[in-house]
């Protein structure tokens, strides 16, 4: 599965957000730095209205959304790369994530202490980015030392690694995150293996005040500008409101959202924004037993998409009976789509499209 790490300075609303996400009160939010000591891991269903529509047509007994993992990562402070606060643990946890959801305090509240004594989300973002870059520089130095002998011995992989590490080092010493490095096609795999922290895509989560979650405020506007300039993305939510909504029944939640002037819960937007940031898409399997959503990266071929369900599906792949989502709906289900000639037999070279309803045929 895909994993997003929730990071941010202490007291910005990470735990509140994480609680809302996982609908648990387990990770206690408190007005105290380092409240979240253990990294908390939560799996959330990715909301997708299409799945419910498919299930209704097929009269599926159960509905299983695709899932995404969120990791609430312990508070970071200035100096974390030097081992201050919970620095090292933080850095190890973040290395394992696919992307970073960076919570920024955009709400004013005199009762909630800010570690630097002022609300300035752009400066906060820079503080954390700087720590990530310093940590990268340190790990690059260590790794360069570690491969010296292999490089001398002419080991091809080590030579490639050294070249990439040095390019990243130059970039970082220039004060820029490693994600700005342009990497050749041939180097992409090795580059990803380096797992540098400042290469992770970032989704800025602007945590605004309760009455501001529809439009945002001046703080979130500045974050939006910064995110656009970096090629990252952002969402505006109020963690506190999301936590309240997460405790309501579905129909109550809908009424609450209407009263607030919101089209949907901020968490739904957050999860989807993460999905887009990672270039993920969804295909469906639909039957009377269950309607289920599956996650793939954009550009995945049919056999590899089948492999998400089970390795055997990929190994023994024969073909996939495929109906586009719109056709499935328009034809009122599988048999209608079949009659209308909208069910396609697709082979190994088929690139699965977002929304495809798939039925895989395979040898065992
Ligand atoms: P963390 O240290 O980043 O995990 O922050 P927490 O989630 O523990 O929140 C720190 C404090 O800020 C808690 O007292 C929360 O109730 C409060 N808080 C979180 N989000 C909001 C918000 O949107 N508005 C206000 N006014 N307070 C918030």
In order along its 364 residues, the chain shows pLDDT tens digits of: 789 999 998 889 988 898 888 764 333 333 333 334 445 777 788 888 999 999 999 999 999 988 888 888 865 666 666 655 555 666 778 888 999 999 999 998 878 877 777 899 999 999 989 988 998 999 999 999 999 999 999 999 999 999 999 999 999 999 999 999 999 999 999 999 999 999 999 999 999 998 888 889 999 999 999 999 988 999 999 999 988 888 888 788 888 888 888 877 788 888 889 888 999 999 999 999 999 999 999 999 999 999 999 999 999 999 999 999 999 999 999 999 999 999 999 999 999 999 999 999 999 8
Return all residues near 185 (Cβ < 8 A) that are at least 6 apart. none
**Which residue in 363, 353, 278, 280 sits closest to 319, CA to CA?**
363
Contact 114, 11 (CB under 8 A): yes
- Ligand 1 center to residue 177 CA distance, Å? 28
Which two structure tokens, joined as six digits, stand for 3? 């994993």
**Which residue in 125, 129, 132 sits closest to 207, CA to CA?**
125
Which two structure tokens, joined as six digits, stand for 151? 């490089």
Report the complex ipTM: 0.94
- Protein residues whose CB sits closer than 6 Å to any atom of ligand 1: 8, 10-16, 29-31, 35-36, 75, 107, 109, 112, 207, 209, 238-240
Conformation bin of residue 185: beta by default, left when phi > 0, alpha when psi is -120 to 50: alpha
**Which residue in 272, 278, 193, 190 sits closest to 232, CA to CA?**
278
Which two structure tokens, joined as six digits, stand for 141? 């130095």
Q: Given the structure tokens 């009424």, which residue do they identify?
A: 255
Domains of the chain: 3-277 (3.40.50.300), 299-362 (3.10.20.30)
Residue to substitute in 8, 25, 29 for testing ligand 1 pocket (most ligand atoms within 8 angstroms of CB): 29
pTM score > 0.80 for this model?
Answer: yes
- Ligand 1 center to residue 6 CA distance, Å? 14
Closest residue by CA, ligand 1 atom 18: 13
- Quote the CA–CA distance of 177 and 331 in Å, as a whole number: 49
- Ligand 1 center to residue 248 CA distance, Å? 20
What pLDDT is recorded for position 73?
A: 81
Contact 190, 184 (CB under 8 A): no
- Altogether, the residues listed in the chain come to a count of 364
Q: In what order do the strands lie in the sheet with 99-105?
A: 40-45, 67-72, 3-7, 99-105, 202-207, 233-237
Residue to substitute in 9, 12, 13, 101 for testing ligand 1 pocket (most ligand atoms within 8 angstroms of CB): 13
- Ligand 1 center to residue 239 CA distance, Å? 8
Which residues make beta-bridge pairs with 280? Answer: 297
Which two structure tokens, joined as six digits, stand for 224? 């939006």
Quickly count helices (H) and strands (E) in the chain: 15, 12
């Amino acid at each position: 599965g895909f994993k997003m790490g929730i990071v941010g300075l202490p007291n910005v609303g990470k735990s509140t957000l994480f609680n809302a996400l996982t609908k648990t009160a387990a990770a206690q939010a408190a007005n105290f730095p380092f409240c979240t000591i253990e990294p908390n891991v939560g799996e959330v269903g990715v909301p997708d209205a299409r799945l419910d529509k498919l299930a209704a047509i097929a009269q599926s007994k159960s509905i299983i959304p695709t899932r995404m993992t969120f990791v609430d990562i312990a508070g970071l402070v200035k100096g974390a790369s030097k081992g201050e606060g919970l620095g090292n643990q933080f850095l190890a946890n973040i290395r394992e994530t696919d992307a970073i959801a960076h919570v920024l305090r955009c709400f004013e509240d005199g009762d909630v202490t800010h570690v630097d004594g002022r609300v300035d989300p752009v400066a906060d973002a820079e503080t954390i980015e700087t720590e990530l870059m310093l940590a990268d520089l340190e790990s690059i130095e260590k790794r360069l030392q570690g491969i010296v002998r292999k490089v001398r011995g002419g080991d091809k992989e080590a030579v490639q690694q050294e070249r990439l590490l040095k390019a990243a080092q130059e970039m970082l010493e220039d004060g820029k995150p490693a994600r700005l490095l342009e990497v050749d096609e041939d180097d992409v795999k090795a580059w990803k293996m380096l797992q540098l922290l400042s290469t992770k895509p970032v989704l800025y989560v602007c945590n605004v005040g309760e009455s501001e979650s529809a439009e945002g405020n001046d703080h979130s506007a500045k974050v939006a500008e910064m995110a656009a300039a970096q090629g990252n993305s952002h969402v505006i939510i109020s963690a506190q409101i999301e936590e309240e909504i997460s405790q309501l029944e579905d129909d109550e939640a809908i009424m609450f959202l209407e009263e607030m002037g919101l089209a949907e819960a901020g968490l739904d937007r957050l999860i989807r924004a993460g999905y887009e940031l990672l270039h993920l898409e969804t295909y469906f399997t639909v039957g009377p037993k269950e309607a289920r959503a599956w996650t793939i990266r954009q550009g995945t071929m049919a056999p590899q998409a089948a492999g998400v369900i089970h390795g055997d599906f990929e190994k023994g792949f024969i073909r996939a009976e495929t109906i586009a989502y719109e056709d499935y709906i328009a034809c009122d289900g599988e048999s209608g789509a079949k009659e209308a000639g909208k069910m396609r037999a697709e082979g190994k070279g088929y690139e699965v499209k977002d929304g495809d309803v798939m039925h895989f045929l395979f040898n065992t």
